């Protein structure tokens, strides 16, 4: 459906703000229950199966920048996600000299068009961290509450993996995983020597079909470009569009929500939004409002929804909206492997992401930091594009001729060309993605001095890593060096030290930000109850990663999906019981 | 997808084709080399992206004199050999022209380096760079092309030449000719069935025994999966 406007005429049962993992899942479950649904999305419609939306299988010469990143596609000119770190006319600010980078996607499916499809369940420990290490808070629910939903998400969307029986890495309903690539087999050798586990990864791509509606992976390695046969998960292709086909779902695109509207009693009555098409304000009415705009965007909408009954913003009587913002930690390292130089060519694309990963293996009681991390691996003979052949000014010296003489760094000519061909496919690297400790003092709030081009007040961030994260990053680098060296690699670059927090990336960079509308049993210290229902407004729900009490050392999407399904079931039940 | 299909897409697709096709009938128009470059990125573009690409493509950054210098230099960095063409033959200078406008932060450094060439040519040979003989050009290139042995006074020139080398390589290997030279055989639909056995043998790696029965079997890709209640695959 293209853009359309409805002026406060007929009310919907439910308005859902945002069409990513959470909003998409809510649109499917609520519409399947027979409810009428409006999905309000700040960006345009998108379906990679349509030729005009397709970036998959395009060679770099179909881009004048040969696939280099741009402001609105920082991960490459063919990346599916439209938006980026810095959206024209939609600023955000920072406070007290602190750092936070905010990645947004303005399109149907939201950031599920970008992510690596790493689809890990949180484990039993991940819901009860405070009980284990005394830091932060426990979730008001546990793994058993979400397990049935994780099972359903696995079957609905599809994820490959292997049953491992690791307590805090729960198994699911897995499709068969692809065999590892050469660099992953090298890494495994290194990891074995160091005594660190490495198992088949768990990614939401269809190695086998789960239904007749979606195609099966044909191994082009380009999931970040969105799959034209819908063999990978994104909320648009797997949730929102199927919901629109089957149920009473209207999609409002290019619609930027300003606030949740309320009545005298403080109940939510709908939303008010600005159409980006004509820059006019519109209102929609509904019995229930569901926010799935992303942890920070939903918090922004709530804080901007001030009224007589909600003077500090809807859902914010505790003052907790925006608080406990936290992202995964991240840092990376790379090596060059002499024995992989000049190697035999074959189609090594595989799926769009890692075929193996390392779940957290350590015992934090014996370490000087509280929370764990997982390791992602990368390398291989990827598509030559923008960036190929780069850095020969520092890397050429690792190439040796037939007499064992190293090439000089830099240079030019036929020799350089041959050396680039030799080095192709011989570098590999690893990335640690870890759990941080949620802090009251890490937050987003409304910047009193700045509005976006729609006149909506914007977010201001305040975020500092603690010692816990810094020490974890140091541990990551020690581990990286051990594995890469044992795998036969020569480390590239230098090991980052304390002056750079051991290479710890700025908060927000891993794009796993959660916690801004956290759930809890105590209305004074949390925003939502254990059903993701606002403590102070019973027909307002949040279905993105805002409700997370703590972000595990996993990617958040699978938990967003399971939680959004559970919340949607609860909404259906409450509407039936006429409680809301 | 072959070139013909690409072109068909260009003519019928959603990209703004005005620049390329102004006044021509698509069917009769001979397609110039690098025609795709003229149209901006293909596929999934927002209106803002299309407009920006067209704006960048309509502007000119390099002067004719600078283009001549660059043509000399990129063919020194990536020359023709018996397996592959020279950089100018695959449009590397046009690519650089676009990148200067797309990433304007590099403009001053690039232009500064190109200007320095004339200074250096005048100092050494009393001529402008474009008037130098081949061996004279190489004399200047050698001053800045070898980071580990360059004289300290050429530090800035080395940094500039590193950027030039990186851009040349990007522009070179991101072409059909570059793929062919590299031996890249991916980006063709297939069923990934692991690293060829002889490659694993050569590198001394092998698959873990316990996973072998669990890995995807290409012949199962047509069958809808079934599990038992415990998540074991039963069909």
> Number of structural domains, chain B?
2
Same domain, B84 and B136: yes
Chain A residues closer than 8 Å to B99 by CB: 65, 68
Same domain, B82 and B147: yes
User: Which chain A residue's Cα is nearest to B220?
Assistant: A208
Residue B144 is assigned to a structural domain of this protein: yes
Residue B117 is assigned to a structural domain of this protein: yes
Residues 72 through 101 of chain B touching chain A, CB cutoff 8 Å: 76-79, 81, 84, 95, 98-99
User: Which chain A residue's Cα is nearest to B76?
Assistant: A413
Residue B145 is assigned to a structural domain of this protein: yes
Residue B208 is assigned to a structural domain of this protein: no
Same domain, B149 and B91: yes
Question: pTM (2 decimals)?
Answer: 0.94
Same domain, B177 and B107: yes
Element (H, E) at B36: none
Q: Which two tokens stand for residue A190?
A: 């290194």
B199 to chain A, any CB pair closer than 8 A? The answer is yes
Chain A residues closer than 8 Å to B206 by CB: 185
* Residue A321 contacts residue A299 (beta carbons within 8 Å): yes
Q: Which structural domain range is residue B41 located in?
A: 3-58
Same domain, B8 and B38: yes
Contact B184 A345 (CB under 8 A): yes
Q: Using pLDDT thresholds of 50, 70 and 90, give the confidence band for residue B190.
A: confident
B57 to chain A, any CB pair closer than 8 A? The answer is yes
Model pLDDT, residue A522: 98
Rounded CA gap, B188 and B177, in Å?
Answer: 16
User: Which chain A residue's Cα is nearest to B179?
Assistant: A384
B200 to chain A, any CB pair closer than 8 A? The answer is yes
Same domain, B155 and B174: yes
Contact B192 A344 (CB under 8 A): no
* Residue A569 contacts residue A7 (beta carbons within 8 Å): no
Contact A182 B195 (CB under 8 A): yes
| Rounded alpha-carbon distances, angstroms, from residue A23 to A40, A124, A353, A378, A564 | 9, 25, 25, 31, 8
Same domain, B87 and B176: yes
Residue count of chain A, please give it.
Answer: 580
Same domain, B54 and B128: no
Show which of B58, B77, B96 is a domain's final residue.
B58
Model pLDDT, residue A168: 98
Residue B187 is assigned to a structural domain of this protein: no
Rounded CA gap, A483 and A195, in Å?
Answer: 9
Residue B12 is assigned to a structural domain of this protein: yes
With 0-12 / 13-18 / 19 or more C-beta atoms within 10 angstroms meaning exposed / middle / buried, residue A498 is: exposed
Q: What are phi and psi of A329, to 5 degrees?
A: -85, 160
Same domain, B168 and B94: yes
Residue B188 is assigned to a structural domain of this protein: no
* Residue A560 contacts residue A112 (beta carbons within 8 Å): no
**DSSP, residue by residue, A207-251:** SS-SSSSS------S-GGG--TT--B--HIIIIIHHHHHHSSEEE
The alpha carbon of residue B130 is apart from the nearest alpha carbon of chain A, in Å, by 19
Which of B174, B183, B228 is the best mutation test for A, with the most CBs of A within 10 A? B174
Rounded CA gap, A432 and A332, in Å?
Answer: 6
How many A/B residue pairs have CB atoms within 8 Å?
Answer: 275
Rounded CA gap, A493 and B200, in Å?
Answer: 28
* ipTM tops 0.90: yes
- Please, what are the domains in chain A? 1-56+72-158+233-317+523-580 (3.50.50.60)
* Residue A510 contacts residue A433 (beta carbons within 8 Å): yes
* Residue A432 contacts residue A331 (beta carbons within 8 Å): yes
Rounded CA gap, A542 and A293, in Å?
Answer: 9
SS (H, E, C) A145-174: HHHHHHHHHHHHHCCECCCCCCCCCCCCCC
* Residue A236 contacts residue A249 (beta carbons within 8 Å): no
Helix then strand then coil, in percent of chain A rounded to 5, is 25, 20, 55
- Which residues, other chains included, contact A389 with Cβ-Cβ below 8 Å and sequence gap of 6+? A420, B166, B169, B170, B172, B173
Model pLDDT, residue A9: 62
Residue B165 is assigned to a structural domain of this protein: yes
* Residue B92 contacts residue B169 (beta carbons within 8 Å): no
User: Which chain A residue's Cα is nearest to B217?
Assistant: A176
Same domain, B120 and B10: no
Model pLDDT, residue A115: 84
Same domain, B30 and B117: no
Residues 448 through 477 of chain A touching chain B, CB cutoff 8 Å: none
Chain B residues closer than 8 Å to A90 by CB: none
Is B18's pLDDT higher than 90? no
User: Going residue by residue through chain A (580 aa), what tens digit of pLDDT does each one get?
Assistant: 344 444 556 799 999 999 999 999 999 999 999 999 999 999 999 999 999 999 999 999 999 999 999 999 999 999 999 999 999 999 999 999 999 999 999 999 999 999 899 999 999 999 999 999 999 999 999 999 999 999 999 999 999 999 999 999 999 999 999 999 999 999 999 999 999 999 999 999 999 999 999 999 999 999 999 999 999 999 999 999 999 999 999 999 999 999 999 999 999 999 999 999 999 999 999 999 999 999 999 999 999 999 999 999 999 999 999 999 999 999 999 999 999 999 999 999 999 999 999 999 999 999 999 999 999 999 999 999 999 999 999 999 999 988 999 999 999 999 999 999 999 999 999 999 999 999 999 999 999 999 999 999 999 999 999 999 999 999 999 999 999 999 999 999 999 999 999 999 999 999 999 999 999 999 999 999 999 999 999 999 999 999 999 999 999 999 999 999 999 999 999 999 999 9
Element (H, E) at A290: strand A281-291
A384 to chain B, any CB pair closer than 8 A? The answer is yes
- Tokens 């997808």 found at: B1
Same domain, B126 and B22: no
Model pLDDT, residue B36: 44
Q: At what angle do helices B134-144 and B64-77 cross, to 10 degrees?
A: 80
Q: Which two tokens stand for residue A546?
A: 């805002």
Helix then strand then coil, in percent of chain B rounded to 5, is 60, 0, 40
Read off the pLDDT of residues B35-77 as tens digits, 9 standing for 90 and up.
445 579 999 999 999 999 999 999 999 999 999 999 999 999 9
Model pLDDT, residue A10: 76
């Amino acid at each position: 459906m293209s853009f359309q406007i409805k002026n406060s005429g007929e009310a919907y049962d439910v308005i859902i703000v945002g069409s990513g993992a959470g909003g998409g899942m809510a649109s499917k479950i609520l519409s399947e229950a027979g409810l009428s649904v409006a999905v309000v999305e700040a960006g345009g419609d998108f379906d990679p199966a349509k030729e005009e939306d397709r970036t998959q299988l395009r060679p770099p010469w179909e881009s004048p920048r040969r696939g280099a990143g741009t402001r609105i596609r920082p991960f490459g000119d063919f990346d599916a996600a439209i938006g980026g770190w810095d959206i024209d006319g939609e600023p955000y600010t920072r406070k007290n000299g602190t750092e936070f980078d905010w990645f947004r996607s303005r399109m149907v499916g939201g950031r599920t068009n970008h992510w690596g499809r790493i689809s890990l369940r949180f484990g039993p420990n991940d819901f009860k961290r405070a009980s284990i290490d005394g830091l932060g808070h426990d979730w008001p629910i546990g793994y058993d509450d979400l397990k049935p939903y994780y099972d359903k998400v696995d079957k609905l969307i599809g994820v490959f993996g292997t049953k491992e029986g690791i307590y805090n890495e729960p198994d699911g309903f897995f499709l068969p995983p692809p065999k590892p690539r050469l660099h992953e087999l090298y890494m495994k050798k290194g990891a074995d020597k160091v005594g660190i586990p490495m198992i088949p990864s768990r990614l939401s791509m269809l190695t086998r079909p789960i239904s007749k509606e979606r195609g099966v992976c044909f191994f082009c390695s380009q999931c970040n470009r969105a799959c034209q046969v819908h063999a990978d998960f994104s909320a648009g292709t797997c949730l929102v569009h199927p919901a629109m086909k089957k149920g009473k779902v209207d999609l409002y695109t290019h619609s930027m929500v300003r606030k949740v509207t309320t009545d005298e009693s403080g109940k939510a009555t709908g939303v008010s939004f600005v159409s980006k098409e004509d820059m006019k304000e519109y209102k929609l009415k509904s019995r229930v409002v569901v926010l799935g705009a992303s942890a920070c965007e939903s918090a922004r909408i709530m804080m901007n929804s001030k009224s007589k009954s909600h003077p500090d913003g809807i859902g914010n009587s505790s003052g907790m909206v925006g608080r406990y913002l936290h992202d995964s930690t991240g840092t990376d390292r790379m090596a060059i492997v002499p024995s992989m130089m000049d190697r035999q060519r074959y189609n090594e694309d595989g799926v769009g992401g890692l075929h193996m990963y390392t779940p957290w293996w350590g015992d934090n009681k014996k370490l000087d930091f509280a929370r764990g991390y997982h390791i992602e691996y990368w390398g291989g003979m990827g598509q030559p594009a923008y960036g190929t052949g780069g850095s020969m000014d520092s890397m050429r010296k690792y190439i040796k001729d037939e007499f064992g003489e190293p090439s000089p760094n830099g240079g030019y000519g036929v020799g350089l060309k041959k050396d680039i061909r030799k080095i192709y496919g011989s570098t590999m690297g690893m990335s640690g993605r870890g759990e941080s400790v949620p802090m009251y003092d890490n937050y987003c709030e409304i910047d009193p001095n700045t509005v976006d081009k729609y006149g909506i007040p914007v977010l201001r961030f305040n975020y500092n890593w603690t010692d816990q994260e810094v020490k974890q990053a140091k541990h990551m680098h020690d581990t990286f060096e051990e594995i890469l060296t044992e795998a036969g690699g020569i480390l590239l670059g230098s090991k980052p030290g304390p002056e750079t927090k051991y290479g710890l990336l700025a908060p927000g960079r891993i794009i796993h930000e959660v916690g801004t509308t956290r759930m809890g049993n105590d209305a004074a210290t949390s925003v939502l109850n254990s059903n993701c229902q606002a403590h102070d407004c019973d027909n307002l729900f949040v279905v993105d990663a805002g409700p997370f009490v703590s972000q595990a050392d996993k990617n958040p999407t699978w938990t967003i999906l399971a939680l959004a399904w559970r919340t949607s079931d609860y909404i259906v039940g409450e509407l039936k019981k006429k409680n809301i | 997808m072959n070139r013909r299909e690409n072109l068909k897409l260009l003519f019928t697709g959603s990209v703004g084709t005005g620049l390329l096709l102004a006044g021509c009938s698509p069917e009769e128009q001979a397609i110039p080399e690098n025609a795709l470059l003229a149209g901006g990125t293909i596929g999934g573009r927002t209106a803002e992206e299309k407009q920006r690409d067209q704006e960048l493509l309509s502007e000119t950054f390099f002067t004719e004199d600078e283009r001549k210098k660059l043509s000399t230099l990129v063919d020194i960095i990536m020359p023709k050999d018996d397996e592959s063409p020279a950089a100018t033959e695959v449009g590397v200078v046009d690519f650089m022209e676009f990148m200067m406008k797309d990433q304007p932060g590099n403009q001053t450094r690039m232009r500064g380096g190109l200007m320095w060439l004339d200074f250096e040519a005048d100092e050494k040979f009393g001529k402008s760079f474009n008037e130098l003989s081949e061996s004279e050009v190489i004399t200047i290139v050698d001053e800045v092309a070898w980071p580990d042995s360059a004289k300290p006074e050429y530090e800035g020139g080395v940094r500039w030449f590193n950027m030039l080398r990186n851009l040349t390589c990007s522009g070179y290997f991101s072409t059909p000719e570059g793929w062919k030279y590299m031996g890249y055989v991916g980006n063709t639909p297939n069923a990934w069935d692991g690293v060829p056995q002889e490659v694993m043998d050569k590198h001394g790696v092998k698959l873990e025994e316990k996973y072998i029965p669990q890995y995807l079997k290409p012949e199962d890709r047509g069958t809808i999966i079934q599990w038992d209640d415990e998540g074991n695959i039963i069909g």
